[in-house]
Amino acid sequence: MNPVEGAAIPVQVVGGFLGAGKTTLLNRLITTQQDRRLAIIVNDFGAIDIDGLLVERREEDILALKNGCICCSLQSDLFSTLRMILSRTPSPDAIFIECSGVSRLDDMRQALADPILWRHAALEGVICVVNAIDVTCQTAITKDPLWIEQIQSSDLIVLSHTDELDADAIKRAEAGIQSLRGAVPVLTSADTLLTHAAFFSPVSPGVKASRFRTESGAGEEFASLEWCRDIPLDLAAFQHVIERYAATLLRAKGILYLASAPQHPLLLQMTGSRVTIGSAPARAAAGPVTRLVFIGRQGVFDPVALKTALDAIPT
């Protein structure tokens, strides 16, 4: 598939709150769009690039931006990355940018509204991935102002985890989204999005940037801890620490090595009160080193206290 002569490469922003399923959507994208040249920029909040490790690689440009939000402290890095992508031959058919879970999507619109950039790479849309279970169950996340703002700033909503809900619950999730965003399109399956030809169509020259609201970056509202240990951990002691600090955390994720099975890396995923531990993908294992990222709101989450507790875990 070759880009249309004179047309800008479409840029799709994939946003959504912490743990919504953005990386899962990109994994699906990579595995289903084998006939397209894709450039994918992955952003992760925190110095340990867990998302960059977990995104499946084929031949795409997967470029991980670390230490903050794309549209905050890393805005200059984003443009450098885009210029590098645009200089390559052949050009990609589409560019995807995964925002950090703490990004404000309107800020991303502003960051991509450079008139020179738009001649070559034009923002096609802002997609927000939303966990349908959060909407139907009205979890604490749905009261978070940033969660609401991300939905209200998007052009398209993709509901995740709908395979865990019945038809009535999915309808309630759609209604809940539209109560916040009005008539925004809501897709209940990523498959519908990934098979839509317009999703990858080149943007005609002369497209204008939409109006947007200017606000300060969201990264300043959050605190994070990146923690590593090169000796496998005692499971019971680790669980005790997590239970003790769970109420102060919005998100935790990473690769975990336990003393009971030091040859088997585990993938830890925690969003709100939901915690899952399973086998880590082989590509994510670089051990035996436990590498974890914890994210919470400033003033609620105490990274120093959590680090002290984690450091005290016996091996």
With cut-offs at 50, 70 and 90, classify the pLDDT of residue 159: very high
| Per-range mean pLDDT, top range of 56-60, 111-115, 267-271, 302-306 | 302-306
- 167-181 and 145-152 helices, crossing angle to 10°: 80
Report the range of poorest mean pLDDT among 25-39, 153-167, 258-272: 25-39
Report the range of poorest mean pLDDT among 19-23, 105-109, 194-198, 292-296: 194-198
Strand, coil or helix: 50: helix
Residue of higher predicted confidence among 127 and 215: 127
Give the CA angle between residues 16, 18, 22 to the nearest 5°. 50
Region 288-311: mean pLDDT is 90
Region 108-135: mean pLDDT is 85
Strand, coil or helix: 256: strand
Please report the pLDDT score of residue 71 as a whole number: 46
Residue of higher predicted confidence among 32 and 179: 179
Strand, coil or helix: 127: strand
Residue of higher predicted confidence among 175 and 28: 175
Contact 180, 151 (CB under 8 A): yes
Specify the amino acid at residue 274: R
Within the chain, how many helices (H) and strands (E) appear?
11, 12
Cis omega (within 30 of 0) for bond into 288: yes
Region 62-71: mean pLDDT is 59
CB crowding 33-65: b at 16 or more within 10 Å, else e: beeebbbbbbbbbbebbbbbbbbeeeebbbbbb
In the predicted structure, residue 231 carries a pLDDT above the cut 70: yes
Pairing of strands 290-297, 222-229: antiparallel
Domains, the chain, ranges and CATH? 9-216 (3.40.50.300), 221-311 (3.30.1220.10)
Specify the amino acid at residue 180: L
Residue of higher predicted confidence among 166 and 275: 166
Please report the pLDDT score of residue 55 as a whole number: 73
| Per-range mean pLDDT, top range of 92-101, 226-235, 287-296 | 226-235
Q: Give me the helices (H) in the chain, please.
A: 22-32, 50-54, 75-86, 105-111, 115-120, 132-137, 145-152, 167-181, 190-194, 235-245, 303-311
Give the CA angle between residues 305, 310, 314 to the nearest 5°. 140
| Per-range mean pLDDT, top range of 2-6, 117-121, 290-294 | 290-294
Residue of higher predicted confidence among 189 and 239: 239
